Structure 1
Amino acid sequence: MHLPLLLTLLTLLTLTLAATTTTDLYKILQLDKSANDRDLKRAYRTLSKKYHPDKSSGDETKFLEVAEAYETLSDPTTRKIYDQYGHDGLANHKRTGGAQQHNPFDLFSQFFGGGRGQQGVRRGHDMEVKLSIPLRDFYTGREVPFSLEKQQICDTCEGSGSADGHVETCSRCNGRGMIIQKHMLAPGMFQQVQSHCDVCGGQGKTIKKPCKTCGGAKVVRGRIDLVADVEPGMPRGHRIVFENEADEHPDYVAGNLNVVVDELAAKIDTSESDEARRSRNDGAFFRRKGPDLYWKEVLSLREAWMGGWTRNLTHLDGHVVPLSRGRGEVVQPGQVESVAGEGIPSWQEGHVHEHDEHHESHGKLHVEYVVVLPDQMESGMEKEFWSLWEKWRKKNGVDLLKDSGRPAAVVQDVKDEL
């Protein structure tokens, strides 16, 4: 370790020791005095990974506090002194030479099989899972619970792989995990080949009594429960990162679990009643494109031509968006109406934007109108419509073939349409 880094660590350690003289060591590890050795190891494993300086979210001061607290409480002698005499007793014990100062990063290395140096902390591979949620959750935001199966450190043997807790140094490789073998290529010519030790499998340790739960593997498969925080407006395909929640192993720090949030495909239950289907707001009838939402609204011929109608559209969070046309206002088939502020909430870099004069807080809602024509008309209605149509066509009709360049099927002296 370089001298400047060593001096920095010693300074931080001195400050940490001063700070811990006023802080309860059990509280630093988030435990109470009844904690056993297994509780201490679990607390240290969790907190040291959380605060390790090599991580973006690390805190070197807290990392050193956790290391100091664990080192003190994991030793039966110093724990007994601390429980009886507190910090003053520990300080006196250290002054009389009863305890030695250790590098907290060496402790981390011993505990996890990694360390801090040129290669940093040894990490496992990241994992990725997909979480499908309805469009409604992208709009409103939601805490989504989910479960997955992954590799976990065996609780029975606490990751040692040994039933009795005894792990011995491999006699073949002397703990190096590697062996060197000589192969004769020709008389007087030899080649040295380095390979993993075939006795310990490259671990450098051997176990006489394997753990019955994990069979000496140190890890088991099990399910864990997590909660993904989906924020309003979060884009489809966004990755929510759970640090150090990938496959665990005592020889390395677990990688990250990346949860890809995807949109659940719209599905309509045909057994639903018409009333229930009309009141749906889970996104089955909405479509999303970026910050905007799209909706199709069906109008009858009378509504599209004559106007005088009102619709109440139930949005994804349950609030109502009114749509209407006054009497005499015509809606063309395929016409699109854009309603500002009724789209997806704006989201960027992990936060929802507040509304201001330069940035809209929501996208737009685009309503496309679909006009449905009647399949047939009664004879009386047909005669009345035809008579009325003929009257207004002669007065206000237009020639649709005039500019088309196509020949007329029948020579007409009247105009074609209104």
Structure 2
Amino acid sequence: MRLIQFVFLVVFVLLPLVLAAEDYYKILGLDKSASERDIKRAYRTLSKKFHPDKNPGDETAQKKFVEIAEAYDVLSTSTTRKIYDQYGHEGVEEHRQGGTAGRPAHDPFDLFSRFFGGGGHFGHAPGHRRGPDMEFRVGIPLRDFYTGRDLRFSIEKQQICEACEGTGSADREVITCDKCHGRGMVIQKHMLAPGMFQQIQMPCDKCRGQGKSIKKPCHVCEGHRVVRNDVETFVTVEPGMDKGTRIVFENEAEESPDWVAGDLILILEEKEAELGSTDEQRTDGTFFRRKGKDLFWKEALSLREAWMGDWSRNITHLDGHVVRLRRNRGEVVQPLSVETVKGEGMPHYSEGHLHDHSDDVDEEPGNLYIEYTVVLPDQMDSAMEKEFHSLWEKWRQKKGVDLAKDSGRPVPPPEPARDEL
């Protein structure tokens, strides 16, 4: 009985402690099968989202930022990740306090700084300049602008070496140059004449202007502190985005320990229309033309259809739904006339926040404009020609219109009669 009570007491005491320590995978929105790339991608996204600089005064966001850093610090290292998977939070704490390779938890801002190549905060960190922005153009078909799409592609860029954490040293030990005292520059005197000297500032020859040196260069970056990698990038194209839209990824341009990473800017471009390879991609909408949020389409009619009506057309839109065009018998369509199909243009897209609404902003989708062209027969046989000529003559005599007179143009005088001789 006492044993059972003791077990219940232990569970009662320890259960709140277990529940208080939230699962690291859950914090990053991952499961235990997540790859190293998944963990880095999750940290990259969440740390920027909850960074205190972007959420001033929000204690919840600050707490979340620290939790995200702690989770990434543990899961990004294979040793601590294995310990965590087997023994949980307690195992990691024991490992840090006196384990085989015990090391203290990183300061969350220090971790953010090394990951993004900055000073732990957004903007210009003390002693760091901002690196250049990168622009990358992505061509997608009109269909993707209409329906939206998640894109995945690789961009080659410079990154801080993870093996040495940007130090260039295999043991992470960096020695300050004793000649220039870390400045990277030295002052040398040159005698121009007796009693006349000139001081010249030049790069330190001992550290080659670096101000620091290393004894054991990193085997990955060979002491350069940075490496070039193909980085997998993800972007979401929202329905209704326009060509030329610029999607900005803050601080995701080329990295360096010497600067705060600039922005990676993706510019969306529209590919030239081409017939799709699958049935789903073989839509009439592929060959729509776009201007802003409106779409344009040219539809050809025969002379009989334009004159007599009694026809219908099914136009397959960009997402596969059908837009039906029709005329009843006796309804005439004039050549080059334009029909407006409301709401069948591009969907509405706003670059503002999802919850920013304004009564002055038109949130309706665009329209689809159909321009009709009439295809005339190249030739007629003699019997058909006689029938049409007779029909047109009767119509002209009954309701004929003198286009030359009605146009407002000057009517030429009749030619004078001429003598046969």
The verdict on a shared fold, with TM-score over 0.5 as the criterion, is yes
Per the alignment, residue 405 of structure 1 pairs with 410
Task: After TM superposition, give the deviation of residue 83 of structure 1 in Å.
Answer: 4.3
1:47-66 matches, cutoff 5 A = 51-54=50-53, 59-63=61-65
In structure 1, the residue corresponding to 2:344 is in which secondary structure? strand
Partner residue of 1:369 out of 364, 372, 397 = 372
**Which residue type is aligned with residue 321 of structure 1?**
V
Q: Distance in 1 between matches of 2:52 and 2:379?
A: 76
Within the alignment, does 1:383 sit opposite 2:390 as a pair? Answer: no
Per the alignment, residue 399 of structure 2 pairs with 396
Per the alignment, residue 300 of structure 1 pairs with 302
Task: After TM superposition, give the deviation of residue 244 of structure 1 in Å.
Answer: 2.6
In structure 1, the residue corresponding to 2:367 is in which secondary structure? strand
Per the alignment, residue 289 of structure 2 pairs with 287
Task: After TM superposition, give the deviation of residue 128 of structure 1 in Å.
Answer: 0.8
In structure 2, the residue corresponding to 1:224 is in which secondary structure? strand
Given the superposition, is the C-alpha separation of residues 101 and 357 from structure 1 closer, same or farther in structure 2, using an over 3 Å criterion? closer
- The superposition leaves residues 104-133 of structure 1 with CA deviations (integer Å, 9 ceiling, x where unpaired) of 767877885746699536332211100010
Deviates more, 1:103-112 or 1:384-393: 103-112
Given the superposition, is the C-alpha separation of residues 409 and 235 from structure 1 closer, same or farther in structure 2, using an over 3 Å criterion? farther
1:231-380 matches, cutoff 5 A = 231-268=238-275, 280-281=282-283, 283-350=285-352, 359-380=362-383
Deviates more, 1:201-210 or 1:103-112: 103-112
Per the alignment, residue 159 of structure 2 pairs with 152
Given the superposition, is the C-alpha separation of residues 83 and 409 from structure 1 closer, same or farther in structure 2, using an over 3 Å criterion? farther
Question: How large is the RMSD of aligned CA atoms in angstroms?
Answer: 4.7
1:127-276 matches, cutoff 5 A = 127-268=134-275
- The superposition leaves residues 48-75 of structure 1 with CA deviations (integer Å, 9 ceiling, x where unpaired) of 666544457995444556678899999x
CA contact (8 A) 1:29 1:43 kept: no
**Which residue type is aligned with residue 262 of structure 1?**
E
CA contact (8 A) 1:173 1:179 kept: yes
Query: What is the total number of aligned residue pairs between the two structures?
Result: 371
* Unmatched segments (≥5 aa) in structure 2: 1-18, 417-421
* Unmatched segments (≥5 aa) in structure 1: 1-20, 94-98, 412-418
Task: After TM superposition, give the deviation of residue 178 of structure 1 in Å.
Answer: 2.9
- The superposition leaves residues 169-228 of structure 1 with CA deviations (integer Å, 9 ceiling, x where unpaired) of 223222233323334455444444444434334332212333343232122222122221
CA contact (8 A) 2:338 2:370 kept: yes
CA contact (8 A) 1:143 1:227 kept: yes
CA contact (8 A) 2:186 2:203 kept: yes
CA contact (8 A) 1:178 1:196 kept: yes
In structure 2, the residue corresponding to 1:341 is in which secondary structure? coil
Q: Distance in 1 between matches of 2:158 and 2:362?
A: 45
**Which residue type is aligned with residue 398 of structure 2?**
K
Per the alignment, residue 126 of structure 1 pairs with 133
Task: After TM superposition, give the deviation of residue 303 of structure 1 in Å.
Answer: 0.5
CA contact (8 A) 1:136 1:281 kept: no
Given the superposition, is the C-alpha separation of residues 196 and 350 from structure 1 closer, same or farther in structure 2, using an over 3 Å criterion? farther
Given the superposition, is the C-alpha separation of residues 286 and 85 from structure 1 closer, same or farther in structure 2, using an over 3 Å criterion? closer
CA contact (8 A) 2:185 2:203 kept: yes
Q: Distance in 2 between matches of 1:175 and 1:215?
A: 21
Task: After TM superposition, give the deviation of residue 267 of structure 1 in Å.
Answer: 3.2
Given the superposition, is the C-alpha separation of residues 373 and 351 from structure 1 closer, same or farther in structure 2, using an over 3 Å criterion? farther
Task: After TM superposition, give the deviation of residue 240 of structure 1 in Å.
Answer: 1.2
**Which residue type is aligned with residue 306 of structure 1?**
M
CA contact (8 A) 2:140 2:270 kept: yes
Task: After TM superposition, give the deviation of residue 42 of structure 1 in Å.
Answer: 7.1
Q: Distance in 2 between matches of 1:117 and 1:243?
A: 9
CA contact (8 A) 2:159 2:227 kept: yes
In structure 2, the residue corresponding to 1:380 is in which secondary structure? helix
Task: After TM superposition, give the deviation of residue 324 of structure 1 in Å.
Answer: 0.6
Q: Distance in 2 between matches of 1:248 and 1:28?
A: 28
- The superposition leaves residues 22-62 of structure 1 with CA deviations (integer Å, 9 ceiling, x where unpaired) of 54696798699x9xxx99x9799857666544457995444
Deviates more, 1:256-265 or 1:53-62: 53-62
